[in-house]
Structure 1
Amino acid sequence: MHQSLKPIRGAAVALSTAALAAGVLVAAPASADPSAALKSARAAVNTDSTPSTIAAQWLGGELTNGLLVGTSGPDFGLTIDAGMAISTVSGQGATVTAINNALEPRIADYVGDGTKESYAGALAKAASFARTAKKNPTSYGGINLVTRLEERTADVPKDPAAEPQAAAIAGRIFDKSESGNFANVVGQSYAVRALTLANSAEAGAARDFLLKQQCTSGYFRLKFDKADVPSQACAEGVAGSEADADATALAVINLVESGDKSQGVQAALAKAGTWLAARQRKSGAFRSSGTGAQINTNTTALGGYALGLLQNREGAQKAALWVRKNQPVDKYKCRTALTKDTGAVAYRKDRTMGDAKTAGIPAGARDEWRRATSQAILGLQFAPASKDQLRIVSVRKQARAGERVQFRVFGLAPSESACLQVKGDFVRVKGKKTGDKIVRKLQLPAGNQRRVGLVKTSDDEARTSLRVRN
């Protein structure tokens, strides 16, 4: 929020009350505070908490009895993504608790029954969330998620020379499922995080296998080789080892959050950070990988957050500014059909957002907005703050009715949306990257009286006045 100004009020309390009414808050709210890694990364950066807070509040409002529900029922994976992102936002502990209390009793629906079905990536992500929610992953919903994850992690053979293929896949995660094995590098990165934080004996092997998935340029690929391939390592320029920006960013995030300070991990993080920085566009955006690759808020937010955790504050702030442009805040006289969804982040700032401003977010597109917002919360953690307090100045003390008079707005954070208004006229404005003043003209209404010029953001306002004569 703006420095030294009032915080956002009411939304967190309202959400907590709603959650209690739904019967999902049965314990004291979990804490929702930045992790030690995020606190360290933000220590020397003056950031604006408003965009991540309103995004977290919107996403919390999308929960149905503590879960995000799609057309096919509860989406446990997306709910965990949302919970882990919201947990980085101060003051949102009630929402994290609501998610946890809804998820924990149904965790088997997500991770499998442990006999015929046991999903490694889901186990890893669930264990990571449990710890984020201040719960014990070894007894989460009656399941020892760590033990089950260890069961899905290939063991290091006693004699690697005698079992070269077993040695090649040591530490790799595998699904056990009648539907097949869909474990990948993203799940592997969550496994490293979960196993390391649990002090598992298998954490080192899981970490070493993850590091094999990094190519020489610094990126991580998304998919593993088939289990019978001898090398099991990323091979740049070879089919199956294509660069993946999302997988790279998530590998960085999970390695940092694992707390592993080993030389190999630090070297891998440095290489990945260099690759991500080189891939970032001048606008701050990142393009996704694979078929249909495009610039979007998901990839940009993850890439920016990863850069931020690696102390690349310039790259993190550039990404945050680009993501914030995709967070419409159309309120007051600048209202649109998206006003009721203030805080939501669009996947792309294209026709989708324009249509939503006119007709609102269609039911069929709501899932896309939820997915974009759950990742955007992370990237918005590094949105730069305003230089000073919000204020507005009229360049004239009096004017004629119908005249267009210049107003100057100070204290908008870069890319922050605001509504500049006077009775009968308004204009939408966004903070400049430089944080400098915004200059706009408004037409004055009729009537011999003093009129008020207002500038309003999502959480603050400032005003000035001038005499108007017919």
Structure 2
Amino acid sequence: MHHLNRPLRTATAVLATAALGAGAFAAAPASAEPSPALRAARAAASTDSTPSTIAATWIAGELSNGLLTTGGQPDFGLTIDAGMALSTVADQGGTVTAINNSLEPRIADYVGDGTKESYAGALAKAATFARVAKQNPTSYNGVNLITRLEERTADVPADPATEPQKAAIAGRIFDKSEFGNYANVIGQSYAVRALTLAQSTEAGAARDFLLKQQCASGYFRGSFDKADAPSQSCTEGVAGSEADVDATALVVTNLVESGDKSPAVVGALAKAGTWLASKQRGSGAFRASAPVSQINTNTTAVAGYALGLLKNRDAAMKAALWIRKNQPVDKYKCRTALTKDTGAVAYRKDRVKASTTTGIPATARDEWRRATTQAVLGLQFAPASKDQLRIVSVRKQARSGENVQFQVFGLAPSESACMQVKGDFVRVKGKKTGDKIVRKLQLPAGNQRRVGLVKTSDDEARTSLRVFN
């Protein structure tokens, strides 16, 4: 969808991340009402819907029969991430429905058969997606995802005093699998969101166990202690309690979207938000925790989105600006081998350089899909332009072959554009300040009026001047 007039580009998009209550469910296309949390977070921010829209369009084009693949095989977890991200973009309701229609019949492949194999984190994530897609998580392809998740959530013992170990793990999620137990803190946060929105009697215990995974500094760790450890709480400085930026960001998002406004949750969110903001670099980017330990768009996007939901708009916008720099838009005269993948977001800047002449290599496509899926969320807080897009020639007339200055107004911060005149072009990016950009273009031969153009992914403006040989 191309928005050729500036008001549409800068208007806050009609958004849709579901934080629906446990009320009626419709099978209509999943272009839901925006989640109250995201709507509130964006209400006072002037944002540009373009970068998240073009990223979402690219992801939608990467689906194969409604699913994303990794190594040629359906990747249900990544597909759900994509569906939840696309639900925040105005014109992607149909894609969310298509994802749901492909995922629902195969849900057992993701969550297990419910007898020998039952995966807690997958059940929680699937239940969360079902709600976002306007489906009923208590009857999803005939499976009650909530009941299954409750079965995988440790019960509160009748007498905590006589059963201290059972009390210590109350509310913790566990996989049932012959392959081992891989349940972790991120899965726990999805479980809290799913159980809370379903008004499950186990939601409180699951939430309390999740809050024990927050360390004194405010971060959440990524993994649980062994099930027989007497303490199940995050302990700073102890092996297994290392800080995890991605886990902290996803816990924040899931707690906000759970709608739990209890004092314990409000306090935990405030501490987590302060810690996350302290990890943001001057560039706006975030570095993933060990073992990845790299600055990248995935971590920056989930952290920026979480901070946006917490109404830290400055931090969210800074993160979005950095992500947008990694979204090459090489179109028109500035086209490259990446033009056919306009909207895709690179994991790191070096991936853009590597793919400009070759295109995205087949072996790297999975990485671009993962980066772009999360980027859709982080880009929700990209700042809008100050002005209508326009281009002005500094001179009314000039000789062919001369280098003439053109001024461009109305580029959003970090927005890519192509400035061009017949025979010459230059790539430009919007300044952080949103101020005008001045570049020179060489004028072609021929006694006639020539047009100078500036083109973005979804908009263009033009000016003209007389050229003499």
TM band (smaller chain): over 0.9
User: Residues of 1 paired with 2:344 and 2:285: CA distance?
Assistant: 18
Q: 1:28, CA displacement in angstroms?
A: 3.9
Q: 1:87, CA displacement in angstroms?
A: 0.2
Secondary structure in structure 2 of the residue aligned to 1:372:
helix
- Contact in 2 for aligned 1:33/1:91 (Cα 8 Å): no
Query: What is the identity, as a one-letter code, of the residue corresponding to 2:456?
Result: T
Greater alpha carbon shift after TM alignment, 28-37 vs 109-118: 28-37
User: Residues of 1 paired with 2:29 and 2:297: CA distance?
Assistant: 30
Secondary structure in structure 2 of the residue aligned to 1:137:
coil
User: Residues of 1 paired with 2:253 and 2:157: CA distance?
Assistant: 29
- Contact in 2 for aligned 1:38/1:309 (Cα 8 Å): yes
* Matching residue of 1:353: 352
Verify: 1:303 aligned to 2:300, yes or no. Answer: no
**1:407-463 CA-partner distances (Å, limit 9, x unpaired):** 000000000000000000000000000000000000000000000000000000000
- Contact in 2 for aligned 1:32/1:91 (Cα 8 Å): no
Question: Residues 271-420 of structure 1: matches in 2 within 5 Å?
Answer: 271-350=271-350, 352-420=351-419
- Contact in 2 for aligned 1:285/1:319 (Cα 8 Å): yes
User: Residues of 2 paired with 1:341 and 1:182: CA distance?
Assistant: 35
Greater alpha carbon shift after TM alignment, 42-51 vs 30-39: 30-39
Secondary structure in structure 1 of the residue aligned to 2:304:
helix
- Contact in 1 for aligned 2:221/2:248 (Cα 8 Å): yes
Query: What is the identity, as a one-letter code, of the residue corresponding to 2:352?
Result: M
The alpha-carbon distance between structure 1 residues 201 and 186, as it changes in their structure 2 partners (threshold 3 A), is same
User: Residues of 1 paired with 2:223 and 2:311: CA distance?
Assistant: 28
User: Residues of 2 paired with 1:330 and 1:72: CA distance?
Assistant: 28
Query: What is the identity, as a one-letter code, of the residue corresponding to 1:305?
Result: Y
Return the TM-score normalized by structure 1.
0.95
* Matching residue of 1:22: none
User: Residues of 1 paired with 2:170 and 2:291: CA distance?
Assistant: 30
User: Residues of 1 paired with 2:9 and 2:413: CA distance?
Assistant: 18
**1:271-310 CA-partner distances (Å, limit 9, x unpaired):** 0000001010011000001113100000000110000000
User: Residues of 1 paired with 2:404 and 2:84: CA distance?
Assistant: 47
Question: Residues 84-103 of structure 1: matches in 2 within 5 Å?
Answer: 84-103=84-103
User: Residues of 2 paired with 1:151 and 1:412: CA distance?
Assistant: 53
Q: 1:161, CA displacement in angstroms?
A: 0.5
User: Residues of 2 paired with 1:72 and 1:452: CA distance?
Assistant: 47
Count how many residue pairs are aligned between Structure 1 and Structure 2. Answer: 452
* Matching residue of 1:463: 462
* Matching residue of 2:172: 172
* Matching residue of 2:18: none
Secondary structure in structure 2 of the residue aligned to 1:138:
coil
Verify: 1:439 aligned to 2:469, yes or no. Answer: no
Secondary structure in structure 2 of the residue aligned to 1:139:
coil
Question: Residues 204-215 of structure 1: matches in 2 within 5 Å?
Answer: 204-215=204-215
* Matching residue of 1:424: 423
User: Residues of 2 paired with 1:5 and 1:42: CA distance?
Assistant: 17
Q: 1:30, CA displacement in angstroms?
A: 1.4
Query: Unaligned regions of 5+ residues in structure 1, if any?
Result: 9-26
Query: What is the identity, as a one-letter code, of the residue corresponding to 1:174?
Result: F
User: Residues of 2 paired with 1:144 and 1:81: CA distance?
Assistant: 21
Q: 1:109, CA displacement in angstroms?
A: 0.3
Question: Residues 200-239 of structure 1: matches in 2 within 5 Å?
Answer: 200-239=200-239
* Matching residue of 2:14: none
Displaced runs of 4+ in structure 1, greater than 4 A? 1-4
* Matching residue of 1:192: 192
- Contact in 2 for aligned 1:2/1:390 (Cα 8 Å): no
- Contact in 2 for aligned 1:421/1:455 (Cα 8 Å): yes
- Contact in 1 for aligned 2:6/2:459 (Cα 8 Å): no
Query: What is the identity, as a one-letter code, of the residue corresponding to 1:454?
Result: L
* Matching residue of 2:15: none
Query: What is the identity, as a one-letter code, of the residue corresponding to 1:428?
Result: R
- Contact in 2 for aligned 1:2/1:386 (Cα 8 Å): no
**1:91-134 CA-partner distances (Å, limit 9, x unpaired):** 11010001000000000000000001000000000000000000
Query: Unaligned regions of 5+ residues in structure 2, if any?
Result: 11-26
**1:307-353 CA-partner distances (Å, limit 9, x unpaired):** 00001000000000000000000000000000000000000001x21
User: Residues of 1 paired with 2:374 and 2:33: CA distance?
Assistant: 17
User: Residues of 1 paired with 2:86 and 2:141: CA distance?
Assistant: 21
User: Residues of 1 paired with 2:199 and 2:8: CA distance?
Assistant: 42
- Contact in 2 for aligned 1:3/1:385 (Cα 8 Å): no
* Matching residue of 1:63: 63
User: Residues of 2 paired with 1:210 and 1:334: CA distance?
Assistant: 49
User: Residues of 2 paired with 1:469 and 1:6: CA distance?
Assistant: 38
- Contact in 2 for aligned 1:62/1:68 (Cα 8 Å): yes
- Contact in 2 for aligned 1:305/1:316 (Cα 8 Å): yes
Greater alpha carbon shift after TM alignment, 185-194 vs 69-78: 69-78
- Contact in 2 for aligned 1:2/1:413 (Cα 8 Å): no
User: Residues of 2 paired with 1:201 and 1:384: CA distance?
Assistant: 41
- Contact in 2 for aligned 1:387/1:413 (Cα 8 Å): yes
User: Residues of 2 paired with 1:459 and 1:318: CA distance?
Assistant: 22
User: Residues of 2 paired with 1:5 and 1:449: CA distance?
Assistant: 33
User: Residues of 2 paired with 1:32 and 1:53: CA distance?
Assistant: 16
Query: What is the identity, as a one-letter code, of the residue corresponding to 1:381?
Result: Q
Secondary structure in structure 2 of the residue aligned to 1:329:
coil
* Matching residue of 2:258: 258
**1:191-238 CA-partner distances (Å, limit 9, x unpaired):** 000000000000000000000000000000000000000110000000
Return the TM-score normalized by structure 2.
0.95
* Matching residue of 2:40: 40
Query: What is the identity, as a one-letter code, of the residue corresponding to 1:62?
Result: E
The alpha-carbon distance between structure 1 residues 332 and 223, as it changes in their structure 2 partners (threshold 3 A), is same
User: Residues of 1 paired with 2:163 and 2:137: CA distance?
Assistant: 32
The alpha-carbon distance between structure 1 residues 265 and 6, as it changes in their structure 2 partners (threshold 3 A), is closer
- Contact in 1 for aligned 2:28/2:134 (Cα 8 Å): no
- Contact in 1 for aligned 2:128/2:193 (Cα 8 Å): yes
